[in-house]
Amino acid sequence: LERVLSVDQLSGQSRCLQEQNAVGVEKALQDCEKRLRDEYETKLEKNYRLIDELIAEKKALTEQCDKLVADMRQISEKALAKQKLMEENHKVELKKAEAKAAAAEKIKRERWEAAKTKSIKVSKSIAMRH
């Protein structure tokens, strides 16, 4: 009877220890789960902040690129307008130079003709005197 009683007592103590162990293990698992969840949420928040920073940085870079493209377009348009103006000025100057050269050639020809005419008249007048 004592043996049965002590086996029952030992069984009860064993059960009690197992229950305490189970409660301890359950508590340890809950603590571990909470710690892991907290770490996960901290990392998740950090990643969200990083993503937000990257999005803001990308937006700023896109705005800079758009501004640079607009500036390049404006510079290109100004350069083309300047080139066109220079070409037009060159054409005007070329026409002026051609007109000046033609006028100089005309004057030269008229002087030459006048000199020849005078020379011919002088020759005729000398010939008529003889």
pLDDT of residue 19 exceeding 90, the answer is no
pLDDT of residue 126 exceeding 90: no
At 69 the pLDDT is: 98
Write the DSSP assignment of 19-66 as a string of letters: HHHHHHHHHHHHHHHHHHHHHHHHHHHHHHHHHHHHHHHHHHHHHHHH
**Rg of the Cα atoms in the chain:** 55
- Residue 6 confidence (pLDDT): 79
Which DSSP category does 1 fall into?
-
Quick: pLDDT tens for 70-96: 999 999 999 999 999 999 999 999 999
Taking each continuous run of H as one helix and of E as one strand, the counts in the chain are 1, 0
The predicted pLDDT at position 37 comes to: 97
130 confidence band (pLDDT: 50, 70, 90): low
Helix (H, G, I), strand (E, B) or coil at 130: coil
Average pLDDT, the chain: 93
The percent of residues above 70 in pLDDT, for the chain, comes to 95
pTM attached to this predicted model:
0.51
Sign of CA dihedral 69, 73, 79, 82: negative
